[in-house]
């Protein structure tokens, strides 16, 4: 059996996985992402090293890449990636040639949603919203049982929906974007602003230096009942719910799945989100309000989804090729 490999490439790290057809991660390899101000070939070297470590001497069926950036509708080019050096480059073909293997390419949040759809929390639902809360907010739309990529391949860019007129400036150039209020960055910003104002265990966790505070520290403190950390989750969860209400009003999905690092806090995040979503949602009393659940697959979701995309794409290609060969043999017999 050939290996199907999924690789997740973000601004800081490369995670390569071999994934079974049941979605089980068989092996993983990690590399650091060389950065955004380097030659693109250096990033591709890191991808190659991780893929080689996974593949060894095994035959590779296909490789899926989950990239933190805008991938075009054809899955050929990375149009733009804020934390990577690719600028409208034909990454898929270049890697396929370099690796002499079939390669497929999609956005990382789409891949994570695909993993949740195939193996995870989407379950039997046909329509879902998947929100990935990491440093910022990523997202994907599942419609009729598959990930909806949109006309430019850019559907699901929920993080930059404006929720506060004239609000916090955002790196995207806009202001008041959802991820400025509900994300890992927002969580840390909220908590930092309270250190020094209220007694909090966070002060010790960051050794007295608010600049060293991280999201996982806030999660740890909140789990232990720290007031400031709980307030931070209440704020970020509340904003999560407000944005979800907007998405539910627009898409009317059957389920909402929250993934990404911040979702590790579970109900500390999701309870305020559910409450705020229900309060903000139009016609909540006249509809089935969708459940808001935590993603099932954790930080490997993007890589697992990329491997699944590779497997399904290659398997269908294989099926089509076999069908063509059968048809050709049939034609030959009937001649």
- How many Å is the Cα radius of gyration of the chain? 21
CB of 242 to a copy of itself, least distance (A): 6
Contacts (CB under 8 A) with a copy of itself, residues 230-249: 242, 245-247, 249
Asked if 282 touches a copy of itself (CB under 8 A), the answer is yes
CB of 280 to a copy of itself, least distance (A): 6
The nearer residue to a copy of itself, 63 or 137, going by C-beta atoms, is: 137
Query: Which residue in 44, 108, 116, 157 binds a copy of itself (CB under 8 A)?
Result: 157
CB of 296 to a copy of itself, least distance (A): 20
What mask, x for binding a copy of itself by CB under 8 A, covers residues 46 to 85? ------------------------x--------xx-----
Contacts (CB under 8 A) with a copy of itself, residues 248-267: 249-254
What mask, x for binding a copy of itself by CB under 8 A, covers residues 289 to 318? -x----------------------------
Asked if 168 touches a copy of itself (CB under 8 A), the answer is no
What does the binding site for a copy of itself look like in residue numbers (CB under 8 A)?
A: 70, 79-80, 88, 127, 139, 141, 143-144, 148-165, 167, 172, 174, 177, 242, 245-247, 249-254, 279-280, 282-283, 286-288, 290
């Amino acid at each position: 059996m050939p290996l199907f490999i999924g690789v997740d490439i973000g601004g800081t790290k490369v995670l390569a996985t071999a994934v079974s057809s049941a979605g089980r991660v068989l092996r993983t390899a990690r590399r650091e992402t060389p950065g955004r101000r380097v030659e693109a070939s250096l990033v591709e070297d890191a991808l190659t090293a991780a893929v080689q470590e996974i593949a060894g001497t095994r035959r590779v069926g296909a490789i899926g890449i989950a990239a933190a950036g805008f991938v075009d509708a054809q899955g050929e080019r990375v149009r733009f990636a804020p934390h990577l050096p690719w600028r409208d480059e034909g990454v898929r073909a270049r890697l396929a040639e370099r690796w002499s293997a079939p390669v497929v390419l999609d956005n990382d949040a789409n891949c994570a949603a695909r993993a949740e759809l195939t193996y995870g929390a989407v379950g039997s639902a046909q329509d879902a919203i998947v929100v990935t809360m990491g440093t910022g907010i990523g997202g994907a739309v599942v419609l009729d049982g598959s990930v909806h990529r949109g006309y430019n391949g850019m559907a699901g860019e929920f993080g930059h929906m404006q929720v506060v007129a004239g609000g916090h400036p955002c790196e995207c150039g806009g202001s008041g974007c959802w991820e400025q209020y509900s994300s890992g960055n927002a969580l840390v910003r909220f908590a930092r602003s309270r250190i020094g104002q209220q007694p909090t265990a966070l002060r010790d966790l960051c050794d007295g230096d608010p600049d060293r505070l991280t999201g996982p520290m806030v999660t740890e403190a909140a789990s232990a009942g720290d007031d400031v950390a709980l307030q931070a989750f209440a704020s970020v969860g509340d904003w999560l719910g407000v944005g979800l209400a907007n998405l539910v009003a627009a898409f009317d999905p059957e389920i909402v799945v929250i993934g990404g690092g911040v979702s590790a806090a579970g109900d500390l995040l999701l309870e305020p989100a559910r409450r705020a979503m229900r309060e903000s949602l139009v016609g909540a009393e006249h509809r089935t309000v969708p459940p808001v659940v935590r993603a099932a697959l954790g930080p490997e979701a993007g890589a697992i989804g990329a491997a699944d995309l590779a497997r399904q794409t290659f398997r269908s290609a294989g099926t089509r090729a076999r069908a063509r060969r059968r048809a050709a043999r049939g034609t030959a017999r009937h001649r």
